[in-house]
Structure 1
Amino acid sequence: MFKKSDLSVAVITSIFILSGCNSSDSDSKSGSTAPNGKWTTGDLHVHSIQSDDAQRDLKDVLDYSFDQYGLDWVFLTNHLRDSTRDHRGSDIAEGPIPFSVGMEKYEVPFTQMAQLVGHYEEKTIFSAFEWDMPTHEHFNIAILGEDPQSIDSLKAIQQFEYYFTDRDPAMFNPEDVSQWDEQGERAFTTHEDALKALAWLQANYPTSSFGLINHPSRYSDSYVISDFREFNDIAPDVVFSLEGMMGGQMEPDRGSYMEPYTEEFLPYRSYGGADYIIAQVGGQWDALLGEGRRIWNFANSDYHFKTNDGLYSSGYRPGEYAKNHLWVPENAEEGVKGLLQSLRSGKSFSTYGDIINALDFNVSNQNSTAYMGSDLNVSQGEEVTITIRFKSPESNNYEYEVGSGQTGGMKPFVHHVDLIAGDVYQKAEPGTPEYDQATNPTTKVIARFTQDDWTVDDEGFATMTFSFTAEKDQYFRLRGTNLAPNTPYQTDENGNPLPDELVNIDDHQSRFNAINDRNYYDLWFYSNPIFVVISE
């Protein structure tokens, strides 16, 4: 299973359709949907040089995000640790300082001033942070408050860092520390302390904060399924998302998933670039959805740098490879508040390599239609129809050679789309065996669509339908790929992704190219689910 594959340029170009077009598709946000609003694209996990392991200044990060790759919104998520550099990479004279203080002094003023003078117009930039969750893994948190990025909301982030990290109290304003000590206690060591942090967010910012479980299976000791249930139970309005399509895709170990390449650690590998949590049909994500938990999947860059010093590679730039396509209703609030409402709704899908750039996935009966993230209430025995409509762009951002700035004129395509369904049953109770159950045995691929099953209209949209009789509460989700079943080293006979292989080549440029080829050879998209609920 772990044989090294030889993905040469000749091989990869034979897999893809070459269009000869080097520009990105101008119709990337089109698609048909009934409600009023618009599709947007963005990234929830982006670092700049203020993180000690990142190498690109803030202007460079934002220029790539918006000017080159056309994203609509970006959440900056530098590490909530000691900070030694400003947004340009210069050493902080009084450093180290808490990053929450560095955010207030450097990151937010830069982004606000840039937009004030006309840069990144009509784009949304928000400063969140990546927290080292006690006894677990990295966890992104955004605290908007009543007035996002105001003094009050930035102070709330500093309060969080004081309470839930081991920063020295002397690094904060003494008056703030005195006030915070009166309001609560510090907690930054145990699993219970992690829960206290989430409970604090739920109590103080239930509608104006959210948390994202980052690269969940990167390490074997990071999380178990009961952790996800517990997080969601304690902070249901805050913990509604996981990074099932993680960044770090330019690492030799795809996604930076570096546990041993042995059978024992198969759940901690990446599969088609995705976490096993979402890649396994009937796995942990399906176990959570099977309880009716509204927990959504997202794809991010986790950008630190693409390549550095000609020696190392890390992740693609924001918008270059991973994208979240998020529906923002016409009546949503302005700016980041509207984005948070939209993220919470679950009406989104996520892609690698722009395999698709438009998706209309809905479930309907005679009376109404439900879209991703929502419910369709039906009567038992009622006929229900699922409609899937998607489009791929004329080209994506495949680059050869890596670092040349030359795109390869590659046109992505979809080999097949899987319709996945699972039963919805009673939510598991803490302390029961079900609370530790990491599978949903009812979940299956109930239909597979290829080009023989869909029709393509004049605009390039492929459409297919599936009808069934509603007998029980269920959810439905999609995945799609450019790979056929039984593709050597990539998919099994049922079309499921296989564990990604290590790219281990001594020559640095050759290794960068092989990693990039590996990733563009193996493209996937995942939708968020729709729930069909039998009315009483």
Structure 2
Amino acid sequence: MGHTHGHEDGHHHHHHHGDSGAPLPAAFDTSVPDEELTPDQQSRRSLLRRAGLLGAGLAAGSVLAQGAAAPAYATTSGGRRTNGFLWLAGDHHIHTQYSSDGKYRVGDQVRQGARHGMDWMVITDHGSTTHAKIGVEKVNPDIQEARAAYEDTLVFQGLEWNIPAAEHGTVFVHPGKNEVSVLKQFETDYDGSVKGASDSTPANEALAIAGLAFLGEQVERRKVKDALMLANHPARRGVDSPHEIRGWRDANGASRQIAVGFEGAPGHQAAGIAAPLGMGRARGIYDNNPSANSFAGYPLESYRTWGGFDWMTATVGGLWDSLLAEGKPWWITANSDSHQVYTDTAVRGGPDTDFTANGKHTDPVYGGKVDLAQGDYWPGQYSRTHVGADGFSYAAVMDGIRAGRVWVDHGQLISGLDARVAGGGRWATLGGALHVKKGTRVTLTVDLGLAGGPNWAGFVPKVARVDVIQGDVTGAASDRDTMAAPTAKVVRSYEVNKSTGTVRLTYDLGAVDRPVYVRLRGTDGNRSAVGLMGSAVDPAGPAIDVVGDADPWRDLWFYSNPVWVLPA
């Protein structure tokens, strides 16, 4: 069968939109002396050094080699990329004072994100009548100011879409003169809250598809250079049905797909810390039960997180694998969903805050005490989405996300990941497809960069095990509500007996005679359980998180997006 997204011979084609030649940030460029950096840039460089991401080779550069004859990691020259992808960490789900339940200024979130190693960020205040009328315009000058103040951080404007008939989703566009007008019209015409279209009805589902079509039209008409949508916390309330997810994926066609994935791990990860030292709820605030709008086929355990990850992603042989088995791109991310931060000391300014009238809360002020009742972290403090970009630019990040060159981690469990399949003189990496002759022997090679220093919680995390998950590509699902992939399973597990530097793992897929995909998962080994599909499928997967007592720092995982092998 064909694949709608892969490329042959290790060559990847991108739409640069005119800005892919932007120079590297000063913190990355080792030709710039430390003393010439601003304090924020010095902080960023220190973080990169601790993580082992400056210099040459894997221990030095977040640069993936490109081309079948290239080494696993290309060397760097003066901190600049010479060949391959630059891995940029980011977060596409961040709220500010322009959300009714938010608190921080745009500059606060961007400053903290940069401090925690974020290279790109998306401001996603909640869609609402107030935001559509006032907020989407009023936040833009603050975003422009942050772009100017933090030149080493790419700051997108987006919004959190109330998807008609479903949950929330990040929608964002490439910066430009029409970014506000396109987002404003989209929110006004297609937001479920604004349009009163929250119930799970066929008409509301159709409105969501129309919204994605609108975004595609804006790109085709060159109103904006690009637009993307990613579904947020998809299993939290059980209202994102499998057929809706497939509908979003297929809404715009493969040539310019707008909806490209969902959060593999939600934000609000601090919410599981037990009281009185924390909120005492659930990681991701996944402590819900089915409602009238929930998809009836979802089991009760789908409303909880598993090792901090959404049930759709965490279940080997489950819903995500059923999407991958169709041979179509659908990717995962991990984000902060940052509204109000655990252990912060800021409170909303007031008492003159009138969100409805002003479209924003007044600026935060010092509150005099550490707040342990919140469930969020700053962008990059706990969750990170790493995108393989072909340069430091807005277009390159969006292209990398659409291409599926993404891996995610919690608690800075690892510092780098290079995964590729090779055979017949060709190779492909995350999100791509290796096209070979039937019967070609194929090998998966994984180069893992171990943690280079302590995380925010003050300890150096250690990977205990890495799992290779493999499944067959069986073609389009006849039942659009399918949420199982019977052939997907853990095919190999590797114990990691090393705490610093790099580790290379190799898995032999054998002589491949059918289309398959492989993906990766790793853990610190603190909490594991037999997977929901049984021990023959997943003997040691993530355990269900306990509501009211789930410290996120004691249960760390990383996941990669897949790579396909398609023999012909």
Asked whether the 8 Å contact 1:353–1:396 carries over to 2, the reply is: no
Partner of 2:541, secondary structure, is coil
1:412 Cα deviation after fit: 0.6
Asked whether the 8 Å contact 1:201–1:238 carries over to 2, the reply is: yes
The residue type paired with residue 243 of structure 1 is E
The partner residue of 1:278 within 289, 313, 316 is 313
1:481 maps to 523
Distance (Å, rounded) in 2 between the aligned partners of 1:278 and 1:423: 17
Q: What does residue range 241-252 of structure 1 map to in structure 2 within 5 Å?
A: 241-251=261-271, 252=281
Partner of 1:201, secondary structure, is helix
1:72 Cα deviation after fit: 0.6
Is it true that 1:34 corresponds to 2:65 in the alignment?
yes
Partner of 1:274, secondary structure, is coil
1:275 Cα deviation after fit: 0.4
CA gap of 1:240–1:165, structure 2 versus 1, over 3 A, is closer
Partner of 1:304, secondary structure, is coil
Q: What does residue range 111-510 of structure 1 map to in structure 2 within 5 Å?
A: 111-116=143-148, 119-144=149-174, 148-150=175-177, 152-165=178-191, 190-205=204-219, 208-220=226-238, 222-236=239-253, 237-251=257-271, 252-260=281-289, 264-307=299-342, 310=371, 312-330=373-391, 335-399=393-457, 408=458, 410-428=459-477, 432=478, 434-451=479-496, 460-467=501-508, 468-483=510-525, 494-503=539-548
CA gap of 1:352–1:193, structure 2 versus 1, over 3 A, is same
CA gap of 1:487–1:501, structure 2 versus 1, over 3 A, is same
Alpha-carbon deviations, 1:85-121, whole Å to 9, x = none?
xxxxxxxxxxxxx34642323x2212323443xx212
The partner residue of 1:108 within 114, 134, 140 is 140
1:403 maps to none
Distance (Å, rounded) in 2 between the aligned partners of 1:299 and 1:529: 15
The partner residue of 2:120 within 57, 73, 76 is 73
Q: What does residue range 56-95 of structure 1 map to in structure 2 within 5 Å?
A: 56-66=104-114, 68-83=115-130
Distance (Å, rounded) in 2 between the aligned partners of 1:273 and 1:241: 18
Distance (Å, rounded) in 1 between the aligned partners of 2:528 and 2:337: 30
Distance (Å, rounded) in 1 between the aligned partners of 2:415 and 2:316: 24
Asked whether the 8 Å contact 1:484–1:495 carries over to 2, the reply is: no
Q: Which runs of 5+ in 2 are unaligned?
A: 1-45, 55-60, 67-82, 196-200, 272-280, 291-297, 348-370
Distance (Å, rounded) in 1 between the aligned partners of 2:103 and 2:436: 52
The residue type paired with residue 229 of structure 1 is R
What is the number of residues matched between the two proteins?
441
4+ runs deviating over 4 angstroms = 166-169, 484-493
Alpha-carbon deviations, 1:470-493, whole Å to 9, x = none?
111000000000116757999997
Partner of 1:198, secondary structure, is helix
Asked whether the 8 Å contact 2:316–2:533 carries over to 1, the reply is: no
2:40 maps to none
Q: With the length of structure 2 as denominator, give the TM-score of the two structures.
A: 0.72
Moved more, 198-207 or 267-276: 198-207
Asked whether the 8 Å contact 1:485–1:492 carries over to 2, the reply is: no
1:188 Cα deviation after fit: 12
2:560 maps to 527
1:280 Cα deviation after fit: 0.3
The residue type paired with residue 445 of structure 2 is T
Asked whether the 8 Å contact 2:517–2:565 carries over to 1, the reply is: yes
Partner of 1:271, secondary structure, is coil
1:239 Cα deviation after fit: 1.0
Partner of 1:205, secondary structure, is helix
Provide the aligned C-alpha RMSD in A.
2.9
